[in-house]
């Protein structure tokens, strides 16, 4: 089955976030596991840690993950699909 998720991404954060997602998608399973463990060991307090671990965890658990950014006024709607 598939899980769809959406969230607003501010226009000035879109390029950085899209780059992080593309990097995540290009990682092998071994790279994902290593990056996840590194992020766990180096957790930062505040908003910077929020998306990192969650996205690694989603990527580790799903068969496929896709995303797209849709314009939403001045910002963007990030729509993600995870096939489990």
Rounded CA-CA distance 32/46 in Å is: 22
Q: Domain residues of the chain, as ranges?
A: 2-83
Q: For the segment 43-61, what is each residue's pLDDT rounded down to a tens digit?
A: 655 455 445 788 888 888 8
Average pLDDT over residues 4-16: 96
Q: pLDDT over 70 for what percent of the chain? A: 89
Do 40 and 53 meet the contact criterion of CB atoms below 8 Å apart? yes
Q: For the segment 18-32, what is each residue's pLDDT rounded down to a tens digit?
A: 998 999 899 998 998
Contacts with 42 (C-beta within 8 Å, 6 or more apart), sequence order: none
Q: What pLDDT is recorded for position 50?
A: 45
Report the mean per-residue pLDDT for the chain.
Answer: 87
């Amino acid at each position: 089955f598939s899980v769809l998720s959406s969230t607003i991404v501010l226009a000035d954060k879109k390029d950085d976030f899209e780059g992080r997602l593309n990097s995540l998608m290009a990682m092998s399973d071994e790279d994902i596991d290593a990056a996840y463990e590194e992020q766990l060991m180096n957790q930062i307090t505040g908003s910077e840690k929020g998306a990192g671990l969650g996205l690694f965890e989603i990527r580790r658990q799903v068969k496929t993950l896709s995303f797209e950014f849709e314009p939403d006024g001045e910002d963007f709607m990030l729509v993600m699909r995870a096939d489990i």
